[in-house]
Amino acid sequence: MNEHNRIRYIRFNQVFEKAFSQSVSKLQSWDKLSSCFPEYSMEDEGASNLENCQKQVIQFWTELCKREFNEILKEKNVKEKLDSLDDLIAEAKVRVAAEKGNPTKSDANIILDELDAKQLLELNLHTQRVKTIKDLDIRLDRLNNINTSISDNILSLEKQIETEREELDQIYKKYLGDSINKEKDEVLVQGLHDMVLELQEL
């Protein structure tokens, strides 16, 4: 999928940056800080010390929060999961558009936006089941073709054996008369005939 279409990880980071900025802005308020040390902040040296302390706290807290945030993202594979979710939703939109008779892109977006995570997952599972059924149908057709081919070969072999048996009968009659034991040939032909019937029943 195009990286430009994977927006959830970007938005997730934007939400964090916004929430973090709002939190930092509270630390940057001199009025709130000076109100905690009213007398000390009135002195030049005290005000300078408080200002330096404020900057150091903000810098330390910013570095700490961002480092821990990035470690959590890496540990939980957040980017991969959000990118995968983007891909899943994009694929689902295409499928919904196709199943609805190719509605406009905006219609497909509206339909998907109305689905929750569980419904999106069910839609994806349904699509996977349909694909699996199609694959199984293809395999079944292939097996049926193989069985048909085997059946045709056995029928052809049965006819060939019957023809050869008739030719042997003619030879026996010509040189030995009619006293011929045909039991073995008939058993073979019957066995082949039974195999054809079994294949046709599959």
Residue-wise pLDDT for 64-82, tens only, equals 988 998 998 888 888 888 8
Q: Tell me the pLDDT tens digit for each residue of 145-163.
A: 777 777 777 777 777 777 7
Of 104 and 86, which is predicted with more confidence?
86
Residue written as token pair 């040296």: 45
φ, ψ of residue 79 to 5 degrees: the values are: -60, -45
Banded pLDDT at 122 (limits 50, 70, 90): confident
Give the model's pLDDT for residue 105. Answer: 47
Question: Does residue 107 surpass a pLDDT of 50?
Answer: no
Other residues' Cβ atoms within 10 Å of the Cβ of residue 70: 13
- The overall average pLDDT reported for the chain is 75
Global confidence as pTM: 0.43
Q: Which two tokens stand for residue 100?
A: 């609805």
Banded pLDDT at 180 (limits 50, 70, 90): very low
Banded pLDDT at 9 (limits 50, 70, 90): confident
Give the model's pLDDT for residue 146. Answer: 78
User: How many CA atoms lie within 13 Å of 148's alpha carbon, on the beta-carbon side?
Assistant: 6
Q: Tell me the pLDDT tens digit for each residue of 27-38.
A: 888 888 888 888
Of 71 and 87, which is predicted with more confidence?
71
Distance, in Å, from the CA atom of 111 to the CA atom of 108, rounded to the nearest integer, reads 5
